[in-house]
Structure 1
Amino acid sequence: MKYGVAAFPSKEMQDIANSYRKRYDPHYAKITPHMTLKDAFRADDAKIKEIAIEIEKVAKRHSPFMMHVTKVSSFAPVTNTLYLKVEQTPELMSLHEDLHSDFFGGPPQFQYVPHITIAQQLSDSEHADIYGQLKMAGMDHKETIDRFHLLYQLEDGSWQVYETFRLTGEKS
């Protein structure tokens, strides 16, 4: 089965993201607006139980952190994806690194760019038009993230929560 790790922002931030996603993101109905912490990976039932135990340890080592959404940006020219850019804080980057230790398969394939996707699979002209409009709209949203989620993918491509982990900073 396919799994991933993500943090869900507040309803307020989800509503902002969904105002764009419902028109410009074909995955709108498949997953709630989120910030990916670990890209999709495969695991069987036995392995995912071990992974969940290790993720719990990671959550206990990290405290809640401030998520600061600063602007709309794009992954072009690699893909015509638009996203809400999340500031790279030391706390967020440390959590991301912990979820990419050797136990979890090592470093990610790509450099980590924290974000919340709002549009993807756009044509070149759609991308240019929408990005031109959205990058002029100011974005300055801050909120505390105090939990994250291990997700699994269903056969229809939608994602569901497997387990939720609270960031406690216990440093056990």
Structure 2
Amino acid sequence: MSSETLSFLSPFAGGTSVGVAIEVPQPYARQLRELRECVEGAPAVEIIGPHITLVPPTHLPDFDLTGVEAQLERAARRVAPFVVELAGAGTFRPATQVVYAALTTGGPQCDRLQVEARQGPLEQELRYAYHPHVTVAQDVPEDRLDAAEQALSRFHARFTVAEFVLYEPGPDAVWHTIRTFRLSGRT
């Protein structure tokens, strides 16, 4: 593990879990969080902020993140900063009960970044084909999913992605950013 990494070592578990994502910046993160709370109800604690998943939660057999960090550093060097635009709603219904903010710009770059990140110690088969998005409602009644879809029809965000983060769940069950990786590839 590098000296830049904060990690939560638990004496109660064999290994740890990590995830990799692009965090949605403010003020858009706050707007999406408020929308999700309106649809799903306010959680006692926010487990993870609005984000675009690159590598889903992945269990690792030990706490040594050296290989993970090296892989993510390589991925960051291979992809240049890019623009993401979120506009409108999408849904995975009926396969899963999810409504999300849809990417209208930046999808191919997210896909390339997730392919680069999901190698080495993070290599895995995905349950579903990769589709970059920001979840706003999940596993709630149909009328709440419909409400989220309608509310997102008016949502628009545009921001530059210059970094992504490595998350790890802490003892509080909240996913914490433990390291940030800056994109430095060429356009």
Report the TM-score range of the alignment, normalised by the length of the smaller protein. Answer: 0.7 to 0.9
**Matched letter for residue 108 of structure 1:** L
In structure 2, the partner of 1:168 is 184
After TM superposition, give the deviation of residue 132 of structure 1 in Å: 5.4
Q: Secondary structure at the match of 2:136?
A: strand
Q: Could you say which structure has the higher helix fraction?
A: 1
How many residue pairs get aligned? The number is: 168
In structure 2, the partner of 1:65 is 82
Q: Deviations over 1:47-106 (max 9, x none)?
A: x22111111111011111111112112221122222101235332221111122355224
Structure 2 residue 112 is matched with structure 1 residue 94: yes
Q: In structure 1, what is the Cα distance between the partners aligned to 2:40 and 2:173?
A: 14
In structure 2, the partner of 1:149 is 165
User: Would you say the 8 A contact 2:79–2:186 is kept in 1?
Assistant: yes
Specify whether residues 160 and 170 from structure 1 end up closer, same or farther in structure 2 by C-alpha distance, changes over 3 A only: same
**Matched letter for residue 121 of structure 1:** D
Q: Secondary structure at the match of 1:23?
A: helix
Structure 2 residue 141 is matched with structure 1 residue 123: yes
Q: Deviations over 1:108-133 (max 9, x none)?
A: 231111111112221123323x1453
Q: Secondary structure at the match of 1:11?
A: coil
**Matched letter for residue 157 of structure 1:** A
Specify whether residues 55 and 166 from structure 1 end up closer, same or farther in structure 2 by C-alpha distance, changes over 3 A only: same
Q: In structure 2, what is the Cα distance between the partners aligned to 1:102 and 1:109?
A: 18
Q: In structure 1, what is the Cα distance between the partners aligned to 2:137 and 2:84?
A: 20
Q: Secondary structure at the match of 2:90?
A: strand
Structure 2 residue 92 is matched with structure 1 residue 75: yes
In structure 2, the partner of 1:51 is 68
**Matched letter for residue 172 of structure 2:** D
User: Would you say the 8 A contact 1:100–1:108 is kept in 2?
Assistant: no
In structure 2, the partner of 1:40 is 57
Give the TM-score taking structure 1 as reference length. Answer: 0.86
Give the TM-score taking structure 2 as reference length. Answer: 0.79
Can you give the 5+ residue segments of structure 2 that lack an aligned partner in the other structure?
1-15
Can you give the 5+ residue segments of structure 1 that lack an aligned partner in the other structure?
none
Q: In structure 2, what is the Cα distance between the partners aligned to 1:139 and 1:131?
A: 11
User: Would you say the 8 A contact 1:101–1:107 is kept in 2?
Assistant: no
Q: In structure 2, what is the Cα distance between the partners aligned to 1:105 and 1:11?
A: 31
Q: CA RMSD, aligned part only?
A: 2.2
Q: In structure 1, what is the Cα distance between the partners aligned to 2:155 and 2:39?
A: 18
User: Would you say the 8 A contact 2:47–2:173 is kept in 1?
Assistant: yes
Q: Secondary structure at the match of 1:45?
A: coil
